[in-house]
Structure 1
Amino acid sequence: MAEKERQRLDKVLAHMGLGTRKEAKKLIKERKVEVNGELAQDPGLHVRPGQDRIVVNGEPVEYRQFVYLMLNKPQGVLSATGDESGQVVVDLLSPNYQSFHPFPVGRLDKDTEGLLLLTNDGHLAHRLLSPKKHVPKTYYATVSGTVTQEDVEMFRQGVILDDGYRTLPGCLKILRSGPESEVELTIYEGKYHQVKRMFQAVGKKVTYLKRIAMGPLTLDNTLKPGEYRELTEEEITSLRSLSQ
């Protein structure tokens, strides 16, 4: 690793999820941190993340550059990293994950639940969100109004939204049809309020919306709203292959 890639020890400790920079400095001051077998005394000591052996409280700690989290986003929480008007998804994370400064990949409306990917891997996020990739996103929805096979065909052809834009073809699956219908819808783009506007275009209203899949990721049904977990290596690999 090049000399210019060395980083301050307190910054590295914070990035490794061991607290804030202030808390990392306290660990060093309390003589609880070793680097390559020697007691660290200076928070400004420059180390090589991933190469130098760092031990805290007698336990070696592993440096990670990126973190990948699957969140079951609850209603009422904004898909953002900060907002003065309300709670954001990053607020749901523990401090050790917040220290990685993850951000949501794409957005879910405030009243929409379900699968949201959070990461600090900007390259992966950019590739997944690229309009050229047409990454599929699948939603479960309850809809006020009877969803018909005619609607299925209209969605298959792409519907014209209120601003005149014709969507890419979507795959609409009717789970239950009636005064209140249940459906699954897969779309390949991410226009503003797109699912709601697509049903509005056919004279119906979405009353509940939950994203259940994005690309190769399927929402872990053991996660309650507001809960999250790290992606498995297999899930990360599948996302990377999709974004190449």
Structure 2
Amino acid sequence: MKKKTEPAGADFAPARPRTSAPRAPDDAGASAESRGERSPVRVRAAAPARGAPAETIEPERLQKVLAQLGVGSRREIEEWVVAGRISVNGEPAELGQKIGPGDRVKVNGKLVPLKFATRTPRVLIYHKPEGEIVSREDPDGRPTVFERLPLLRKGRWIAVGRLDFNTSGLLLFTNDGTLANRLMHPRYELEREYAVRLLGELTEEQIESLKTGIQLEDGLARFTTLTDQGGEGINHWYKVTLSEGRNREVRRMFEAVGLTVSRLMRVRYGPVTLSSRLKRGMWMEMPEEDVCELAGLPRPQRQVSARTAEKARQVRVHRTTPR
């Protein structure tokens, strides 16, 4: 897979000096040691004294553990449990079942190595172009967003929400099913912001209707904000925000008031904003410190050299060709 990199700043709020280097993608090349660079200082925890009691690890729900490992999303894992595709210690798994380090879990007959230690998820920020689908396979042979992503040694990338075939813009991926659920679940009400180009211009009555609520086939939908961005000729631009992600929701809302969307681009998802340097078809990895804030995890505590800290500030974007 061909790839070019260039420095870019991640538009992630709140901005602050970073003290930890972003984790390199799996296909990023040789390690720092093999390149002759000095590695950051590693701090190891002191070994427990002989005879000290072992740390107790509380059992956790099966779907949570497997989701954290990137096996699938919680919803997918629950469906697999119902379908009998998951076993625990040789017996069919049950919904809500808890497991611990001593349990043997198999998915489709394959043993899953369990990990209960806290780890920082990985998050990719991708600028999706039009003409790609957010699916792993397509019967029509259309290109998918997953063909451009770096390969994972373990687990898989999970798309945070979807963008339809003709929609471009910000798309997040993570290898952690729990984080994916946190970012997508309606109860967290993470705001999505879109730039919309219409064939025509909205009237004041239409704007009020879209902000108050439009009745769609799958329920009431409304924009939290709707601002006029101007335009020329028959094309007019608007910026809209909403706190949910139903299928083709933005397009359907404008169609409901009699206007057609000629271009749609997502520019923000929650606190993550699409960087102007991240061009279409490019991705970059979110720095670990920002991932911890996004996931509600403690910030990593580790010592780093001044050189490593400087490298952390130079977030790199990657351009790839589909595999």
TM-score (norm 1): 0.68
Whole-angstrom CA distance in 2 between matches of 1:118 and 1:182: 28
Superposed displacement of residue 199, structure 1: 0.4
163-172 vs 191-200, greater mean Cα deviation: 163-172
Distance 1:138 1:234, change over 3 A: farther
Correspondences of 1:37-76 after superposition (within 5 Å): 66-76=121-131
Distance 1:208 1:141, change over 3 A: same
Tell me if the contact between 2:122 and 2:291 (Cα under 8 Å) persists in the aligned partners: no
Superposed displacement of residue 238, structure 1: 3.6
- Cross-structure match for 2:40: none
Superposed displacement of residue 133, structure 1: 1.6
Q: Which of 227, 235, 238 is the matching residue for 2:290?
A: 235
Give yes or no for the alignment of 1:92 onto 2:101: no
Correspondences of 1:126-145 after superposition (within 5 Å): 126-145=181-200
Tell me if the contact between 1:168 and 1:188 (Cα under 8 Å) persists in the aligned partners: no
Give yes or no for the alignment of 1:112 onto 2:167: yes
> Which structure would you say has the larger RCO, counting Cα contacts within 8 Å and 6 or more residues apart?
2
Whole-angstrom CA distance in 2 between matches of 1:136 and 1:92: 26
Give yes or no for the alignment of 1:101 onto 2:159: no
Give yes or no for the alignment of 1:170 onto 2:179: no
What SS is found at the alignment partner of 2:207? helix
Whole-angstrom CA distance in 2 between matches of 1:241 and 1:65: 11
| Matched AA of 2:207 | V
Distance 1:173 1:91, change over 3 A: same
Superposed displacement of residue 145, structure 1: 1.3
Superposed displacement of residue 128, structure 1: 1.3
Superposed displacement of residue 48, structure 1: 10
Q: Percent identity?
A: 33
Distance 1:18 1:167, change over 3 A: closer
Superposed displacement of residue 174, structure 1: 0.8
Give yes or no for the alignment of 1:215 onto 2:262: no
Superposed displacement of residue 233, structure 1: 3.1
Tell me if the contact between 2:211 and 2:224 (Cα under 8 Å) persists in the aligned partners: yes
Whole-angstrom CA distance in 2 between matches of 1:18 and 1:48: 24
- Cross-structure match for 1:17: 26
Runs of 4+ in 1 over 3 A off after TM superposition: 97-100
Superposed displacement of residue 67, structure 1: 2.0
Tell me if the contact between 1:80 and 1:103 (Cα under 8 Å) persists in the aligned partners: no
- Cross-structure match for 1:147: 202
TM-score (norm 2): 0.52
1:135-172 Cα offsets, whole Å, 9 max, x none, are: 110000100111233332222211122x2621144311
Task: Please list every run of 5 or more consecutive structure 1 residues that lacks an aligned counterpart in the other structure.
Answer: 1-15, 20-46, 52-63
How many residues align structurally? Answer: 186
1:10-29 Cα offsets, whole Å, 9 max, x none, are: xxxxxx8379xxxxxxxxxx
| Matched AA of 2:220 | R
What SS is found at the alignment partner of 2:251? helix
Whole-angstrom CA distance in 2 between matches of 1:235 and 1:159: 36
Superposed displacement of residue 239, structure 1: 2.0
Tell me if the contact between 2:158 and 2:180 (Cα under 8 Å) persists in the aligned partners: no
Correspondences of 1:177-188 after superposition (within 5 Å): 179-188=234-243
Distance 1:234 1:174, change over 3 A: farther
Task: Please list every run of 5 or more consecutive structure 2 residues that lacks an aligned counterpart in the other structure.
Answer: 1-24, 29-112, 298-323
